[in-house]
Amino acid sequence: METNITKLRRRILDVAYRDGMGHIPSALSILDIVWTLYDEIMTPDDRFILSKGHGVMALYAVLEEKGLLDWSKKLMGHPKRCGAILASTGSLGHGLPIAVGLAKAKKIRGEPGRVFCVVGDGECNEGTTWECAMIAAHHNLDNLIVFIDQNHTSDRALNTGSLSAKFQAFGWASYDQIGHKDFDMYIFDRPTAIVLLNTKGNGVPFMQDPSWHNRKMTKEEYEKAIS
């Protein structure tokens, strides 16, 4: 019997081939955590921001599975604010500032719930990430939980080293978590950064090559991926 992740991975491949979409490996890299958040962790009071816009097909697949989105027609290659998608993102470093704002607004209004945000490790090269880290720590946004998809493909541009250590230096709780497995989430009294040690293109071995970042599949490649 297909697991939920296998079913969603197949859906991503089917629609990516149907619509000629790229950035497939980015979606496969974050699929497990997006599904886990929507299926096991988030409550109706929680909010989700996908800052790693290149991975939007993972979000589309999960929202469709939950009955929150119609993916029968071609959708954009980055999140566009509408319905269950709260923010238009994709430019590196744009989603985390929105998540910080949402978390602070919840504090001001005394609203329940948390704000979850998925960030790519390439975004951790951006100044906005660390400005947000300082602001979140200053305001003690313990309702903010950020997942960093550290699949190391951005190391070719700039090796960020230990992201957990960096977030800790900015006053956050932070720890590493092996990706693509059952997830452990710990609760802290300050903003939390969970660094997911993921594999880009997870589940489709030939897409783990960096050259696949924004490639579109041929018919032969689609059939190989599905097999």
Q: Over the stretch 161-212, which tens digit does the pLDDT of each residue have? A: 899 999 999 999 999 999 898 777 888 999 999 999 999 999 999 999 888 8
- In CATH terms, the superfamily for domain 4-226 is Thiamin diphosphate (ThDP)-binding fold, Pyr/PP domains (3.40.50.970)
Helix (DSSP H) and strand (DSSP E) numbers for the chain: 7, 5
Coil, strand or helix at 204: coil
pLDDT tens for 71-97 read 999 999 999 999 999 999 988 889 999
Reported pTM: 0.95
pLDDT tens for 104-144 read 999 999 999 999 999 999 999 999 999 999 999 999 999 99
Question: Can you tell me the distance from the alpha carbon of 175 to that of 32, in angstroms, rounded to the nearest whole number?
Answer: 18
Question: Can you tell me the distance from the alpha carbon of 29 to that of 53, in angstroms, rounded to the nearest whole number?
Answer: 12
